[in-house]
Amino acid sequence: MPYEKLEISTPKPVLSWANHSLGADETKMAKNVASLPFVFKHVALMPDVHLGKGALVGSVVATKEAIVPAAVGVDVGCGMCAIKTPFTASQLEGKLKQIRLDIEAAIPVGFHENKETDKTVLNWQGWREFKDLHSGVQRLETKAMKQMGSLGGGNHFLEVCVDAEEQVWLMLHSGSRNIGNMLAQNHIGSAKELAKLADNRLPDPDLAYFIAGTPEFAAYWHDLQWAQGYARFNRDVMMARFKRVVEKHLAGGKPTKALLSVNCHHNYAEKELHFGEEVYVTRKGAVRARSEDYGIIPGSMGAKSFIVKGKGNAESYCSCSHGAGRTMSRNKAKLQFSLDDLIQQTDGVECRKDAGVLDEIPAAYKSIEQVMANQSDLVEVVATLKQVVCVKG
């Protein structure tokens, strides 16, 4: 659908693809961001937009000569990875539970980490820069190495999916783990201290920012790019292990070649060219969707997911949604739904069905079909996937 310009009074307009009215808190958050003096042209809201911290999740904010660390968020570089395998759905019959158990044994989830660091992880070139990161994280190098190739918790997941042509896909969602979180928190704290010293009257303390050309900006930008690289490689490491597990069951352990691979961030910032000007683009819960860019838009653990190709819509800053988007908080979901509800809503999916994942129940999310309908001008669908195995953190 085409976007609508929100009827709110702000220095820069807010364009929305959500096709619904924002709540009072969401509207206030959108106004706060659109009122920042360095926002470029407009703010774009994706169809899955919902409350975040400082900025809305599902927002795309382009800025000139400044960046807001909290708008990027603390899970720096969080994103998705997917591969299309040469396997077909019929090969999965009778093997789903064991595949799930083997995935859980091969890839640490939640607060767990790898007991040993393998050669692939040790050879990552990013470790050479670790000593140059924010001084508060040097003690975390060993932990960062052990967490490389681990999933994390919350809405992070690994899934075996099947598309409409009965082809098997592997898909996962994860980010920069504890090291990205710590780097982000350190810089957010620094930005807030600078705002206090400068007596900046911000509409929200979480919108504290760094100005380009300052040492603080340079330090944040360096650490941000490092953490985004960590997150991308973390997904690559997990996907390689994930693929080996599935190959063990479906190909007798013989390596196979992926028919298509996609690895994309949805919590990050990059320098890009838009409307003829170089700007800093922060996508907080949004995927880059330039013409021919591949992206991944997952539903909940009981809904469809989509592999997409971007249409390069200029007004969205060449972006699309990063998922379905929550309709309620985790605490509210736990209070409103029972384990019986979870079992019913994940029928046909080999996954955990216990209180530990109740906050991820499908009913806590928006309809992914509606979200996709609202962004037909942003992306085209390449493949529609339905999970048959889901591993949560």
8 A C-beta contact, residue 60 and residue 40: no
- 3 state DSSP class of 276: coil
Side-chain half-sphere exposure of 64, counting CA atoms within 13 A: 12
8 A C-beta contact, residue 320 and residue 312: no
326: DSSP letter? B
8 A C-beta contact, residue 157 and residue 172: yes
- 138-142 contacts, C-beta under 8 A, 24 or more apart: 140/178, 140/179, 140/182
What's the residue count for the chain? Answer: 393
Q: Pseudo-torsion of CA 251, 252, 254, 258, nearest 10°?
A: 20
- How far is 31 from 55, CA to CA, in rounded Å? 10
How is residue 299 written in tokens?
Answer: 């539903």
- How far is 346 from 390, CA to CA, in rounded Å? 10
Nearest of 58, 14, 21, 6 to residue 35 by alpha carbon:
14
- How far is 297 from 378, CA to CA, in rounded Å? 12
Burial of 5 (0-12, 13-18, 19+ CB in 10 A): exposed
- How far is 171 from 80, CA to CA, in rounded Å? 7
- 187 part of the active site: no
Using only the alpha carbons of the chain, give its radius of gyration.
Answer: 21
8 A C-beta contact, residue 359 and residue 335: no
Q: Which of 42, 50, 187, 322 is catalytic?
A: 322
Question: Which residues are tagged catalytic?
Answer: 322
